[in-house]
A and B are shown apart, each in its own frame.
Chain A
Amino acid sequence: MALERSDVEKIAHLARLGLNEADIPRTTETLNNILGLIDAMQAVDTDGIDPMAHPLDATQRLRADSVTEENRRDAYQAIAPAVENGLYLVPKVIE
């Protein structure tokens, strides 16, 4: 399943990673090398095996429904790139 340039562009877009035109061929080649390594697993017989998402067979613990957080907006926004009137600013969201 070798990737082509258009695949790499699509993946980069999904991941919101800007691509440098000049780097695309090399990126494509490196990704294909990695996928070559990964593709070795296609030969493994996994029929009837349940996928395993977590190492332990544990189950989710539930939290009591109570408010434990207080307003720390100033501290949290002190490290933000752009804020105004308590809002995080981003280039205009067009809908």
Chain B
Amino acid sequence: MQWETVIGLEIHAQLSTQSKIFSGSATTFGAEPNTQASLVDLGMPGTLPVLNAEAVRMACKFGLAIDAEIAGKNVFARKNYFYPDLPKGYQTSQMDLPIVGKGHLDITLEDGTVRRIGITRAHLEEDAGKSLHEDFHGMSGIDLNRAGTPLLEIVSEPDIRSAKEAVAYVKAIHALVRYLGICDGNMAEGSLRCDCNVSVRPKGQEAFGTRAEIKNVNSFRFIEKAINHEIQRQIELIEDGGKVVQETRLYDPNKDETRSMRSKEEANDYRYFPCPDLLPVVIEQSFLDEVRAQLPELPVQKRERFESQFGLSTYDATVLAASRELADYFEAVQSVCGDAKLAANWVMGELSSLLNKDGLEIEQSPVSAEQLGGMILRIKDNTISGKIAKMVFEAMAAGEGSADEIIEKKGLKQVTDTGAIDSMLDEVLAANAAQVEQYRASDEAKRAKMFGFFVGQAMKASKGKANPGQVNDLLKKKLEG
């Protein structure tokens, strides 16, 4: 049977406010346990919440960026359940009237296809604390520093059809929240977390299958693996005559499998009701206008501009627009060298692999955009070849100066003097007389294969500095002659 996968994602983005959503505690990551847990965060009797204006503004930014309806009034509700990392015994969240309503986001797949993913809603809520399970004489330790950190929970429509699409969507949300400056996107620290609702159905069937929710998958790679694993599990289960049960599952990256997290006998009944300690939040149109006016150019707009202004492919434009910092870097390189395609190739190629290898962010790049742009200029004016450029790039990365300085110091300037190349080629042909004989005795097809050998020898003899175009032309003449 042919199966179709249906995926909906719930992404929790920690908003990068200074203070918590309902208290004046700091939100800094990694502080000593419970040193950022105030009376309100601890759920001390008698304490009350007051809403952080910045959290509201950030949620509105997000809403505007995904073209969502932002209702004039949103309401906080209590979600009641007992857990040690939830100090009040309820999570203050939003239920019936979330701050951000229906919107959408366009994602680009690797083949360049653009898909529109619906976003059902996004609502504000408070994060919980953390339970630490290392052994305190058979006890768990509770750290409430994270309790009360503002979260924006972004709920997608079940529009996603594959693990790859899911990753592309999460990357697009990741890029967006970073562009907007509302979340640092640090998945390792849990600033952006993802719950995946996965189900399968026979191709062509309209009704959804029963879904399982995979909780807290915290890297792009794991999202793809966890979903693929879950799809496989569900298909095998159904094909073996079993049934998928609606449950929460946990992805174990070590074993690359998902397993059931809670026994389902405990049906949750969260008893949502409007929080009586908080009043309805009213969003004025004038406020939204002000927020809209301050929105930066967003990833999708930037991608479109990169395509139209620079003639980049959709894929290249998507990769470059994925982060604001990368896009800014690319544009700086482009403005120095005036060649968007070369700039894109170098940024996505050599530069990216250099950063990846050293685990660096673009802001930490040892090669500045000015340096890279300057080097590309030297490629364009034939001062150096692409191959030499790689050496120059490495030298720049090692901190040896600008491209011009390195070319000068190392004598890497390309040889374009026809006379010099001519005599160098004569020497090369003389040293390889046997091969020349062979070449001349061969047919067209064989010659084409052998030609590369002579080019290689010539470039080697010139230490890569001879202009490859000139080498080609002259060599051809000499061999044919």
Contact = CB atoms under 8 A, between A and B. Distances in A.
Interface of A: 14, 16, 53-54, 58-69, 71-73, 76-77, 82, 84-93, 95
Contact of B141 (A72, A77, A85): A85
A87 B278 contact: no
A65 B42 CA distance: 19
Contacts of B131: 90, 93
A38 B37 CA distance: 40
B24 A68 contact: yes
A69 B142 contact: no
Contact of A59 (B38, B139, B143, B282): B282
Contacts of A60: 51, 278-282
Q: Would you call the interface of chain A mostly helix, strand, loop, or mixed?
A: loop
Given A14-B269, A95-B261, A90 B280 contact: no
Given A53-B276, A66-B18, A67-B18, A93 B133 contact: yes
B140 A93 contact: yes
A58 B35 contact: no
Interface string B35-50: 1111100101000001
Nearest to B89: A16
B156 interface: no
18 contacts: A59-B73, A59-B280, A62-B281, A63-B51, A65-B18, A65-B19, A66-B18, A73-B35, A76-B44, A82-B139, A86-B32, A86-B143, A87-B34, A87-B142, A90-B84, A91-B138, A92-B133, A92-B138
A65 B141 CA distance: 29
Contacts of B38: 69, 72
Contact of A92 (B23, B34, B36, B140): B140
Interface stretch (B52-60, B348-356, B408-416, B453-461): B52-60
A69 B26 contact: yes
A73 B37 CA distance: 8
B33 interface: yes
Nearest to B39: A76
A91 B139 contact: yes
Contacts of A87: 33-34, 132, 136, 141-143
A86 B35 contact: yes
Given A76-B39, A87-B34, A63 B139 contact: no
Given A60-B282, A89-B142, 14 more contacts: A59-B280, A60-B279, A61-B279, A62-B50, A63-B51, A66-B19, A69-B36, A76-B44, A87-B142, A88-B141, A88-B142, A89-B136, A89-B139, A95-B250
Q: Would you call the interface of chain B mostly helix, strand, loop, or mixed?
A: loop
B51 A62 contact: yes
B25 interface: yes
Contact of A54 (B26, B51, B138, B279): B279
B287 to A, nearest CB: 10
B57 to A, nearest CB: 9
Interface of B: 17-19, 23-26, 32-39, 42, 44, 50-56, 73, 82, 84, 131-133, 136, 138-144, 250, 261, 269, 271, 274, 276, 278-282
A92 B51 contact: no
Given A69-B24, A69-B26, A88 B18 contact: no
A63 B82 CA distance: 28
A59 B383 CA distance: 68
Which 3 A-B residue pairs are closest in the complex by CB-CB distance?
A87-B141, A68-B24, A65-B54
Given A71-B36, A87-B136, A93-B140, A65 B279 contact: no
Contacts of B280: 59-60
Contacts of A88: 34, 84, 141-142, 144
Nearest to A77: B34
Contact of B50 (A61, A72, A85, A86): A61
Nearest to A84: B136
B217 to A, nearest CB: 15
A8 to B, nearest CB: 15
Nearest to A14: B269
A55 to B, nearest CB: 10
Given A64-B53, A91-B140, A59 B279 contact: yes
Contacts of A65: 17-19, 52-55
B195 to A, nearest CB: 15
Contacts of A76: 34, 37, 39, 42, 44
B34 A62 contact: no
A64 B55 CA distance: 10
Contacts of A14: 269, 271
Nearest to B150: A65
A66 B282 contact: no
B276 A66 contact: no
A74 B137 CA distance: 22
Contact of A63 (B53, B261, B271): B53
Given A59-B282, A60-B282, A63-B52, A90 B18 contact: no
B151 to A, nearest CB: 15
Contacts of B37: 73, 76
B139 A90 contact: yes
Nearest to B22: A63
Contacts of A73: 32, 34-35, 37
